[in-house]
Amino acid sequence: MKAIQVAIGVAVNGNAEVLVALRAPEQHQGGLWEFPGGKVEPGEDVESALAREFLEEVGLRVLQSELLYEISHDYGDRRVALTVFLITSFEGEPRPKEGNPIEWVTLEQLKALAMPAANRPIVEAVLERLGLERVVE
């Protein structure tokens, strides 16, 4: 089975909170919290997919991002290859453009959220990246 390429982003605000969205019940991995993002279209590069999905799903314009983590995961019914970006600069106020509730959550809250299985190491990477940054400041 070929892996579906997915671009997702972890947007961080000035309060060190990250943006999450609730997946609709009928979606794959529905009812779980996610980082906004979606499938890379044919011929599209992964950064363009990130920017497009952020605009479509939460109405944010990505100004600056860096690669945070890459992970492939087999859900049994589907294999996904996730490219995860840390979004360090963006424009706009997040809005739930596709009807899925969105929230800014602290890193403590993030740890406790029910997310798809592939997200566990992603959350670890977020905590490490943002935690270390604070030590450096």
Ligand X SMILES: Nc1nc2c([nH]c(=O)n2[C@H]2C[C@H](O)[C@@H](COP(=O)(O)OP(=O)(O)OP(=O)(O)O)O2)c(=O)[nH]1
Is 94 near Mg ion (CB under 5 A)? Answer: no
DSSP letter string over 104-125? EE-HHHHHHS---TTHHHHHHH
Residue nearest to Mg ion (CB): 38
Burial (CB count within 10 angstroms: exposed 0-12, middle 13-18, buried 19+), residue 6: buried
* Beta carbon nearer to ligand X, 1 or 136: 1
What character string, x for contact with ligand X (CB under 6 A) and - otherwise, covers 12-31? ---------------xxx--
> In the stretch 21-60, what mask flags binding to Mg ion with x, by CB under 5 A?
-----------------x----------------------
9 lies in the site for Mg ion, by CB under 5 A: no
The CA distance from 83 to 9, in Å, is: 8
The DSSP output letter for 56 is H
Q: Which is nearer to Mg ion, 21 or 132 (CB)?
A: 21
Among ligand X, Mg ion, none, the one that 9 touches (CB under a kind-dependent 5 to 8 A) is none
Taking a C-beta distance cutoff of 8 angstroms, is the pair 22, 99 a contact?
A: no
Give the x-and-dash track for 60-89 against ligand X (CB under 6 A). Answer: ------------------x-x-x-------
The DSSP bridge pattern shows strands 4-11 and 79-91 to be: parallel
